[in-house]
Structure 1
Amino acid sequence: MVKVEIVDEKDQEAHSSPYASPASSPTSSSLSLSSVDSDSPVDESLLDRLTALKDIVPPTTRHSLISNLSKTASFFYRTTKFAGNVIWVVTTSALLIGLPLALILEDEAKVVAQENEMLAQQHGAQQMVSGNSLYPPSSNAPKQSGQQGQGLVPPGF
């Protein structure tokens, strides 16, 4: 059975509102918040508050948000993985092909420089033997017997 009870408006406002006090009236603007009892525990952590925020966002919005975040994270993971593989291949190829090639080219340059030096020495020796010395012919230079007009030839050639 249902019991019906008539409640007076003044009694209902006084008992049901946590802001009401016996001295306050419904039109009074000075309400005391210290008299309000808090339903939340005092030792509530930040994580508890953040997890409670998920109830504010509708499930379809949460699902689309999580889906987009996971797609973005997956894209960045695949991109960095691919970039890492490319860098690995380029570095390994440079070490296996480029380094030996550079060493061979350096050795070849040394050999060419030595050959040029040897040719220069041979060319200088031929000039000295053929009579083109460093000293130009002059009237003061001693002349060797049998060779007229040639410069001084150093001993030993």
Structure 2
Amino acid sequence: MPTARIPLTRIIISFASSEADTETMAIMLKITHREKQGWLDVQDIKKIPIEDLQTINQLWEKHSGGYFGFRVQMHIWLSVAGTSQADYETWCLFGDRVGWYQDNFWKEYHNLTFSSNTRLGHLPCRVFMTYQGFGDWILRLSSVAERFVNSK
């Protein structure tokens, strides 16, 4: 894992979730050499070594008591029958379950809840929302979920 793991650990431990989410994105950008672009697409996510994704996930899970992390999101995504070819209704079901979608509207990043008083799987989320707003977030989410499913 890159040396940036230590700041992420400190940030997650301090429960500064928006900072931890931002640092998670920064680490993933650094791993993929995409700092200048500031966003990741599906191909970039596929280039991240599964060991790095697992380390980031373990930090989120450990310091949230299993409430946040990519694997938590994967289980929610699979429970709503999520695939890379999911329809809009499936996206909305997932968004509702993790608290990104409410009252028929997608929340903007700055309106998300950055505390432990939110929905299961709510964080991390910046990696899915940074590129053109939500843009093709569902493909990025599917890509991360697929990485964990295939790593079993």
Q: Larger Cα Rg: Structure 1 or Structure 2?
A: 1
Structure number with higher relative contact order (C-alpha < 8 Å, ≥ 6 residues apart):
2
Same fold (TM over 0.5): no
**TM bin (shorter chain):** under 0.3
Provide TM-score, normalisation by structure 1.
Answer: 0.14
Provide TM-score, normalisation by structure 2.
Answer: 0.14
